[in-house]
């Protein structure tokens, strides 16, 4: 999406660097041996941040409708995680908050119940039912998950890209999408040398060294 006139010779430069070509990590930060390739959500220590429940895709809508009727008045957030080496590959996470409509005082609202629903879906069938009719704010959240992960939501009124430009290809937050983008698409690196009026390779003018010497001599004069 960069204006055509600004392309420069850097296009030919391969943007990837580092040993791990697939994820395009910088070379100093390749994964440490022993990082767990299994599901981190199953290994979690006992943290009481929410009630966590994992549901299957088929039961998801029924479960969410039941929770909505049980008082889950707010869908706090809808996000996704890409566990590249796990089957199923993606996790879509729904954060729910049970806030009473009549909670006009702090005491009424004290410590509302929180829930976290996790759904695992695979990459070749990345489709989930939309919950826009249950909580209208799922609209943009589902669009963002579609945009950045490629997971579709059935029943969504307008499932289009929201963060990336409309004609972008690929889903950036997937783990196999390089952080710097693909070579053909990456924006050219700025070349400051070609923009300045000092050609590359010009030896230092000596003015900085001279100014420093002058500063030092003035300081020694003052102290002596």
Partner 1 sequence: MEMIPGRQFFLARLDEVARWAQSSSVWPLTMGLACCAIEMMSVQAPQYDIARLGSEVFRASPRQADLMIVSGRVSRKMAPIIKRLYDQMADPKWVISMGACASSGGVFDNYAIVQGVDTVIPVDVYVPGCPPTPDGLLYAVNLIQQQIRAGGSGGLAVRA
Partner 2 sequence: MTTRVTADHLPPLPDDVSYDVIDRGPNTMTLSIGPQHPSTHGVLQVVVEISGEIVTKAEMEIGYLHTGIEKTAENLFWTQAATVIERMDYLAPVSNALCYLLAVEKLLGVTEKIPERAQHVRVLLVELTRIASHCVWLGTHGIDLGAITAFWYAFDIREKILDLMELSGGARMHPNYLRIGGLASDLPDGFLEKLDAFLASTPERLRDLRVLLQNNPIWRDRTIDVGILSAEDALAWGITGPSLRACGIAYDVRRAYPYSGYERYEFDVPVRAEGDAYARFLVRLDEMDESLRIVRQIRRDLQPGPIVIADPKIVPPPKETIAISMEALIHHFKIMSEGFRVPPGDVYQAVESPRGELGYYIVSNGDNRPYRVRTRPPSLYNLQVLKKIALGNLISDMVVTIGSLDPVFGEVDR
Number of residues that bind partner 2 (CB under 8 A): 58
Cβ neighbourhood burial of 130 (10 Å; 0-12, 13-18, 19+): middle
- Joined together, the tokens standing for residue 208 give 């900085």
The entry of partner 2, partner 1, none that residue 140 binds, CB within 5 to 8 Å by partner kind? partner 2
- Please select the residue that binds partner 1; options are 105, 195, 207, 222, rule is CB under 8 A: 195
Peptide bond into 88 cis (omega under 30): yes
- Residue 42, classed as helix, strand or coil, is helix
Return all residues near 51 (Cβ < 8 A) that are at least 6 apart: 113, 114, 115, 116
Measured from the CB of residue 62, what is the shortest distance to partner 1 in angstroms?
A: 37
Q: By the 8 A CB rule, do 126 and 151 touch?
A: yes
Please give the C-alpha separations between residue 3 and each of 10, 80, 109, 143, 166, in angstroms, as whole numbers.
15, 32, 52, 27, 16
The least CB distance from residue 55 to partner 2, in Å, is 16
3-state class of 198 per DSSP?
coil
Residue from 9, 104, 198, 208 in contact with partner 2 (CB under 8 A): 104
Task: Report in angstroms how near the CB of residue 38 gets to partner 1 at its nearest.
Answer: 28
User: Does 181 sit near partner 1 (CB under 8 A)?
Assistant: yes
Cβ closest to partner 2, residue 152 vs residue 161: 161
Give Cα 188 to chain centroid, integer Å. Answer: 22
Of 50, 76, 172, 174, which one interacts with partner 1 (CB under 8 A)? Answer: 172
CB 20, min distance to partner 2, A: 10
Tokens of 88: 């199923």
Binding site for partner 2 (CB under 8 A): 25-26, 28-29, 31-32, 34-37, 40-41, 43-45, 47, 49-50, 73-77, 79-82, 93, 95, 99-101, 103-106, 108-112, 114, 116, 135-137, 139-141, 161-165, 172-173, 177, 179
Binding site for partner 1 (CB under 8 A): 1-3, 6, 8, 163-165, 172, 177-181, 185-190, 195
């Amino acid at each position: 999406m960069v204006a055509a006139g600004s392309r420069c010779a850097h296009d030919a430069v391969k943007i990837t660097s580092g040993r791990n070509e697939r994820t395009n990590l910088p070379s100093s930060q390749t994964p440490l041996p022993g990082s767990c390739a299994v599901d981190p959500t199953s290994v979690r220590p006992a943290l009481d941040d929410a009630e966590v429940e994992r549901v299957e895709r088929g039961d998801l809508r029924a479960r969410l409708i039941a929770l909505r009727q049980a008082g889950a008045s707010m869908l706090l957030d809808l996000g996704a995680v890409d566990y590249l080496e796990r089957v199923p590959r993606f996790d879509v996470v729904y954060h729910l908050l049970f806030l009473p409509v009549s909670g006009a005082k702090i005491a009424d609202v004290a410590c509302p119940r929180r829930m976290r629903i996790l759904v695992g879906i695979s990459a070749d069938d990345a489709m989930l039912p939309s919950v826009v009719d249950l909580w209208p704010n799922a609209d943009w959240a589902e669009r963002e998950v579609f945009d950045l992960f490629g997971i579709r939501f059935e029943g969504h009124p307008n499932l289009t890209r929201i963060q990336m430009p409309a004609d972008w290809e690929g889903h950036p937050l997937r783990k196999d999408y390089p952080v710097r983008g693909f070579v053909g698409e990456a924006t050219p690196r700025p070349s400051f040398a070609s923009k300045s009026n000092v050609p590359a390779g010009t030896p230092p003018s000596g003015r900085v060294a001279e100014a420093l010497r002058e500063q030092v001599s003035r300081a020694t004069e003052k102290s002596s």
